[in-house]
Amino acid sequence: MDNVAGFPVELGYSSAVAEIVRLALAEDIGRGDITTEATVAADAMAKAVIVQKQPGVLCGMPLARLVFAALDPRVQIEPVIEEGSWGDKREVARLTGPARAILTGERTALNFIQRMSGVATMARRAAVLVEGTGAIVLDTRKTTPGHRALEKYAVRVGGHGHVRNHRAGLDDAVLIKDNHIRAAGGIAAAIEGARKRVGPAQRIEVEVTNPFELEEALRAGAEMVLLDNHTLEGLQAAVQQAAGRAKLEASGGITLDNLADVARTGVDYVSLGALTHSAGSIDFSLEVM
């Protein structure tokens, strides 16, 4: 890619991505990389490799490109394997360019890659668990502040279509919870208010806690229903009760241990906050040749 405009084409030209890169570089570099400035000539060139040191899904190379491009557009990054590949203990990319930029950007680039690969890896594990069940795993808004776009992208990279993104924010889908229902004066009023507020492309989702509320939501025209903290039996009963009148989403207390069981209850979606709040990180290093 020769695009040095700072908008990441792989991530849909989102300016939020450019901003977190800028912020990350600013916080690490501050007033300047004094060690590098004092020891490395301004015109020295270098070669380096990025090495994956633990098993997992590679994710985040577009961020590495943005980090180095922000410092010096002359840094070239050649991928050895593709974004989204699973691997362990191997070179994933080769870099050439000004030595100062490579040394200064190293830690920030790795900090992005190791976290995004952690999320993609967990998404891959979840994908395997639900394959064949017909259920789709969804991520949540429990993301790292400022990293929403990156983590949702990592979920897609690792999820292979079995793990997908739920809403990106408070503005691109309606999810009516109990506080909203109380404030609006009931489920029907809340749904009607939302219907006028949002575009025709948005389905409206309502959270329910028991069969009575489920019935009320379905009759009021809810197109998706969130079943929070239900037992497996409760989920199965809800699937039967809804009988296809709306899409059903299970959430709350779900981990990789019980994910497959939840998926087999017949719900359409299982949302898994742990994908982004507890994914851990995969170790990578950058080695100058």
Site residues (CB under 8 A) for a copy of itself, limited to 223-242: 223-224
Query: Is residue 221 at the binding interface for a copy of itself, with CB under 8 A as the rule?
Result: no
Spatial distance between the Cα atoms of 7 and 229, rounded to a whole number of angstroms: 40
Q: Is residue 47 annotated as a catalytic residue, yes or no?
A: no
Sign of CA dihedral 242, 265, 168, 128: negative
Bridge-based pairing state of the strands 224-228 and 204-208: parallel
| Contact assessment for residue 64 and residue 150, using Cβ atoms and an 8 Å cutoff | no
Query: Is residue 284 at the binding interface for a copy of itself, with CB under 8 A as the rule?
Result: no
From the CB of 44, what's the least distance to a copy of itself, in Å?
A: 6
Residue type, 141: R
Binding range to a copy of itself, per CB under 8 A, among 49-57, 174-182, 210-218, 234-242: 174-182
The three-class DSSP label of residue 218 is helix
User: What is the footprint of a copy of itself within residues 201-220 (CB under 8 A)?
Assistant: 201-205
**In the complex with a copy of itself, which residue's Cβ is closer, 199 or 244?**
199
Q: Across-strand partners of 250?
A: 227, 270
Q: Is residue 142 annotated as a catalytic residue, yes or no?
A: yes
For 178, half-sphere exposure in the C-beta direction (CA atoms, 13 angstrom radius) is 6
Mask: binding to a copy of itself, 135-164, rule CB under 8 A, as x and -? Answer: -x-x--xxxxxxxxx------x----x--x
Q: Is residue 228 annotated as a catalytic residue, yes or no?
A: yes
Residue type, 72: D
Binding range to a copy of itself, per CB under 8 A, among 84-92, 127-135, 182-190, 214-222: 182-190
Distances (CA, A) of 251 to 105, 180, 226, 238: 39, 18, 7, 13
User: What is the footprint of a copy of itself within residues 2-41 (CB under 8 A)?
Assistant: 2-5, 7, 9-16, 19-41
Spatial distance between the Cα atoms of 69 and 171, rounded to a whole number of angstroms: 31
Q: Which of 54, 165, 209, 241 binds a copy of itself (CB under 8 A)?
A: 165
The residue annotated as part of the active site, out of 22, 125, 142, 167, is 142
**In the complex with a copy of itself, which residue's Cβ is closer, 233 or 265?**
265
User: What is the footprint of a copy of itself within residues 239-278 (CB under 8 A)?
Assistant: 247, 249, 268-269, 277-278
Spatial distance between the Cα atoms of 130 and 144, rounded to a whole number of angstroms: 25
Q: Which of 84, 193, 221, 234 binds a copy of itself (CB under 8 A)?
A: 193
Spatial distance between the Cα atoms of 129 and 220, rounded to a whole number of angstroms: 34
From the CB of 262, what's the least distance to a copy of itself, in Å?
A: 16
- Nearest Cα residue to 88 out of 57, 130, 120, 113: 57
User: What is the footprint of a copy of itself within residues 97-136 (CB under 8 A)?
Assistant: 98-101, 103-104, 107-108, 110-112, 114-115, 136
User: What is the footprint of a copy of itself within residues 49-88 (CB under 8 A)?
Assistant: 69-74
Instruction: Read off the tokens for 270.
Output: 């299982």
The residues assigned a catalytic role are: 107, 142, 177, 207, 228
